[in-house]
Amino acid sequence: MQKEYTVTVYTEDRIGITNRITIIFTRRGINITSLTTAETEIPGVYKFIITVMSTREKLDKVVGQIERLIEIHRAFVHEEEEVVYQELALYKISTKSLHTGDIERLIRENHARILTITADYFVIEKTGHQQELIDFIKKLEPYGLIEYSKSGRVAIVKWSRRFHEHLKDLQAKEAVSD
């Protein structure tokens, strides 16, 4: 059955690595719904967090084929309940509306915050799961939403400790061999 999965991939820092990963999804006709990547706490090792709608069976094979790539350390598929995750959204709203309605209550109740205010617009930041962030758009629309931008998923895997130790071991080994 198709559902949303989080795929995490640990990679070396190399030009084109995103392409190498994504073509494996493309081959099987799997659409990537979000992709977040940044360097991990270990210099030179990057983590990709990819969300997709697919089946476990397909993704287990995809992950095997991703792991086969030379510059990939490991790749994993996670079910919804195996990860703690968050997404971040920014909402730009016309400053004129600051004085209409009860925007203060809206921000307070939704655990959002104001990042900046200019004469023309102000920017609200909110973190949460995708649906909450989308629901918040609707709440802001009466105030004149000018622009909305949302990140992909940032996720922590509940059982990931062992892999991080493996990475740190690698780093220690590298340090010795250097």
Partner 1 sequence: MQQKDVLPMKTEIADKQLIVKPVITGSEAVIRSLIAEGVDTIFGYPGGAIMPIYDALYDFQDQVHHILVRHEQGATHAAQGYARSSGRVGVAFATSGPGATNLVTGLADAYMDSTPMVCITGQVAAALLGTDAFQETDVIGITMPITKWNIQVTRPEDIPDAMAKAFYIARSGRPGPVLVDITKNAQFGEFEYEYKKCEYIRSYRPVPELSNEAVAEAAALINGAKQPFILCGHGVLLAGAEKELIALAEKAQIPVASTLLGLSAVPVDHPMYVGMLGMHGNYGPNILTGECDVLIAVGMRFDDRVTGDVGSYASKAKVIHIEIDAAEINKIIKADVAVHADAKTALKALLQQVTPAEHPEWMAQFRAADKKEYDKVQHAELYPQQGELKMAEVIRLISEKTKGEAVLVTDVGQHQMVASRYYRFKNPNTNITSGGMGTMGFSLPAAMGAKKGTPEKEVVAIIGDGCFQMTLQELATIHQSQIGVKIVILNNNFLGMVRQWQQLFFDKRYSSTEMVNPDFVQVAKGFYIPGKKVSTRENISEAIDEMLAHQGAYLLEVVVEKEDNVFPMVPAGAPISAIRLE
Q: Which is nearer to partner 1, 14 or 96 (CB)?
A: 14
Residue 156's DSSP bridge partners are 84
Q: Which is nearer to partner 1, 12 or 80 (CB)?
A: 12
Beta strands in the chain (DSSP E): 3-12, 32-39, 45-54, 72-78, 83-94, 113-117, 121-128, 145-150, 154-157
Closest approach of partner 1 to the CB of residue 168, in Å: 13
Nearest to 35 by CA among 27, 70, 46, 108: 46
Distance CA 72, CA 29 (A): 21
Q: Which is nearer to partner 1, 42 or 157 (CB)?
A: 42
Chain-centroid distance, C-alpha 17: 17
Distance CA 98, CA 94 (A): 8
Closest approach of partner 1 to the CB of residue 21, in Å: 10
Torsion sign over Cα 66, 67, 73, 76: positive
Q: Which is nearer to partner 1, 22 or 151 (CB)?
A: 22
Closest approach of partner 1 to the CB of residue 25, in Å: 12
Closest approach of partner 1 to the CB of residue 87, in Å: 28
Closest approach of partner 1 to the CB of residue 66, in Å: 9
Contact residues toward partner 1 (CB under 8 A) are 11-12, 15-16, 19-20, 23, 27, 60-61, 64-65, 67-68, 70-73, 170, 173-174
- Residue 7 burial (CB < 10 Å; 0-12/13-18/19+)? buried
Distance CA 16, CA 22 (A): 10
Q: Which is nearer to partner 1, 65 or 94 (CB)?
A: 65
